[in-house]
Structure 1
């Protein structure tokens, strides 16, 4: 029996990287996991297969967040999948991980479209995902929002991305206060540079450069972050809410 046996979870953006590792980690503790994807259904199905190979349970749900009708589409698939497998549409754990990744644009070159897309996916979508999920989350539920360590440092080429994630942390703070009477915890996790499998991380010179941001002088693996998210979903984390938890591997130690 895992620590999350009998629980259900939704992890947005869980077809790869931190989202995939989080979905796998939650499933290993016994949760039934809804694996969300925007475009790559095959990659999401691979996450499901990895979970099932490990003895867990999962299913996919598709929706492009940050677009019209996204919340309705997401929850139609989620509720159908949960009801089919458990007989009810109850969601115990919500992890907002899906993000519009920064292109590293200097402030002078940021377009209105780029700005709006970042906030649509990284800020607006999580807000309304939580809003809709509140009708499904029982007392004692868990919400974890994946932010970034970039909200703690000045990196001009990442300004819009960091701004959108900083707003996400404010969302966590205020929802934590709002939902405390129901025993629902809401926290933010702030990863550092994490090897999510993108081709850029296969460039040796760049890997070495990015590794220097961590006090351990290595890139984070998705499981390094996922372990913290899984912990926040367990009963052991009952007394933690409204926190922005640094998971940068000492990236802010100087």
Structure 2
């Protein structure tokens, strides 16, 4: 298959088509959605919460949350009065909390990997996730989520190219040209991550909406040693004692 980069050990691609193309030839997949699904998942699971990714922001999410006995994060990004797709809103989440987090990008990709081991990567935990990925095998696929244009088509995003490149910088193996390109983007910005991401399109949008703190949290490079692992439809902190989750 021309597009699956299978002759390389380290592969990088964008969006749902990338997941579909890589899953059959991967030992592990890493989903990168820096602003903000991956950052939210890292912060929440690091604190001992369990995150149930969900594709849609509609009434079906309410029903799903009830079936798994979880709270439902607000569809509207906010950092007060409950949880949402704002990393800031999750900084005080309690251990054992079960939370459904709806996201058309990161959540959708996470739920599309089938039975392939799936990790959630970000700038916050790039080194830790890369180290964990190596334990599953040599065929490591990094999927950058990107964003959506108003017509729902994929918008390639600077922050996810950087995030994917950050993970790639810590893995070993033969890199595809796509992986090399993402790595080069990261290398060009690693000394100015916060500044560059604030200036990119996604960053400017969040700042305009009052969520600059979310960007600061997302750019806290390697601040976390947490590795969120998808198992049974939800992300857990790796090695979490699941008997503590009611």
TM-score, with structure 2 as normaliser: 0.32
Q: Which has the higher contact order (CA 8 A, sep 6+)?
A: 2
Q: Over alpha carbons, which structure has the higher Rg?
A: 1
